[in-house]
């Protein structure tokens, strides 16, 4: 089953009108139980492939992969990371969640904490929120003066170009949910005592700025998008579709990196193990 990744990958230089992209889309799968079942089966196969590719990335040892996840509150970042990364060797993956900056982080430039979390060669780095918060929440809430956040688009672009040129592939995901879907997910957090910890009353304030966030996301995608570090808008109302889209992007990205198992510097056929 072919997932139309070309449709979700933002073309460099193009504008993204998020309102015109259907968050409930399910691509080649019917939007029902049948589709969900088929997608879950596919995800199992994708995980096997990802595990093999991760092993290859590690053995190759000359490049890294950075996957950036951004979304509105309750957009599914945690669930995506849990579902898609399951099966990978934990030694080869490092997940970093970026919260409101600490005093020490604020005392440095905005990319300082990001640089420190970058994956080593051979590793997959996963960012749960990222440097993009510095042109999203920071812009929407006016946490720094406009001329400062405006300059960050070029700074982010240059930073990502440097990453790619030095051997770290970058894939950026915006998990696209509808405002109604967010309402349902936030309500579910209120209804289930085991989910209360996930509910943050401050999220309602952010929700009231939905359109400001959309505008900020659209600008980030227009200004910081390139062949070398593309943005993907992932329809994310249906978690099962979201998962297979993201898994496929990661597979395609890893397959495109030209990874190889290194040649041994000895002749394995000539080695004789005693006993
Ligand atoms: P959560 O992902 O629900 O744990 O929340 C993390 C919070 O940290 C969110 O409200 C983000 O908007 C906030 N946050 C992350 N990065 C930044 C940043 N650079 N500046 C301000 N707030 C941030
Ligand atoms: Mg939150």
* pLDDT for the residue numbered 15: 86
φ, ψ dihedrals at 128, nearest 5°: -95, 100
pLDDT in tens, 174-229: 999 999 999 999 999 999 999 999 999 999 999 999 999 999 999 999 999 999 99
* CA–CA distance, 200 with 102 (Å, rounded to integer): 19
pLDDT over 90 at 275, yes or no:
no
pLDDT over 80 at 1, yes or no:
no
* CA–CA distance, 129 with 170 (Å, rounded to integer): 14
199 vs 19, residue with greater confidence: 199
Task: Give the mean pLDDT of 219-247.
Answer: 97
Mean pLDDT of the residues in the chain: 97
Determine the distance separating the centroid of ligand 2 and the alpha carbon of 242, expressed in angstroms: 20
Report the atom number in ligand 1 closest to the C-alpha of 137: 12
pLDDT over 90 at 14, yes or no:
no
Question: Nearest C-alpha to atom 5 of ligand 1 is from which residue?
Answer: 99
Residues 171 and 80 sit within 8 Å (Cβ to Cβ): no
Determine the distance separating the centroid of ligand 2 and the alpha carbon of 246, expressed in angstroms: 21
pLDDT over 90 at 263, yes or no:
yes
Poorest-confidence range of 9-13, 69-73, 263-267?
Answer: 9-13
C-beta atoms surrounding 145 within 10 Å? 8
Residue 7 — pLDDT band, cuts 50, 70, 90?
very high
Question: Nearest C-alpha to atom 22 of ligand 1 is from which residue?
Answer: 100
Task: Give the mean pLDDT of 239-244.
Answer: 98
Task: Give the mean pLDDT of 247-263.
Answer: 97
pLDDT over 90 at 127, yes or no:
yes
Both tokens assigned to 90: 């934990």
Both tokens assigned to 177: 């949910």
Determine the distance separating the centroid of ligand 1 and the alpha carbon of 99, expressed in angstroms: 4
Q: Is 138 in the pocket of ligand 1 (CB under 6 A)?
A: yes
Q: Is 111 in the pocket of ligand 1 (CB under 6 A)?
A: no
Rg of the chain in Å (alpha carbons): 20
């Amino acid at each position: 089953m072919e997932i139309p990744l070309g449709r979700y990958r933002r073309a460099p230089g193009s504008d993204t009108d998020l309102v015109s992209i259907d968050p409930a889309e399910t691509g080649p799968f019917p939007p029902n139980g049948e589709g969900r079942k088929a997608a879950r089966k596919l995800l199992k196969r994708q995980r096997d492939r990802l595990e093999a590719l991760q092993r290859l990335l590690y053995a190759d040892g000359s490049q890294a992969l950075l996957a950036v996840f951004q979304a509105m509150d309750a957009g599914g970042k945690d669930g995506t990371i849990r579902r898609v990364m399951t099966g990978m060797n934990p030694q080869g993956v490092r997940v970093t969640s970026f919260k409101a900056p600490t005093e020490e982080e604020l005392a440095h430039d905005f990319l300082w904490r990001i640089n420190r979390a970058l994956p080593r060669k051979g590793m997959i780095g996963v960012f749960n929120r990222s440097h993009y918060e510095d042109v999203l929440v920071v812009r929407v809430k006016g946490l720094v003066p406009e001329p400062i956040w405006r300059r960050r688009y070029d700074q982010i672009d240059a930073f990502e170009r440097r990453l790619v040129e030095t051997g770290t592939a970058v894939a950026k995901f915006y998990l696209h949910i509808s405002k109604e879907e967010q309402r349902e997910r936030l309500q579910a957090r209120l209804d289930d005592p085991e989910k209360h910890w996930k509910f943050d009353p401050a999220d309602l304030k952010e929700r009231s700025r939905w359109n400001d966030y959309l505008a900020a996301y659209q600008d980030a995608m227009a200004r910081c998008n390139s062949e070398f570090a593309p943005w993907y808008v992932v329809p994310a109302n249906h978690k099962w579709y979201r998962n297979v889209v993201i898994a496929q992007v990661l597979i395609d990205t890893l397959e495109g990196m030209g990874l190889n198992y290194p040649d041994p510097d000895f002749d394995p056929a000539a080695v004789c193990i005693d006993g």
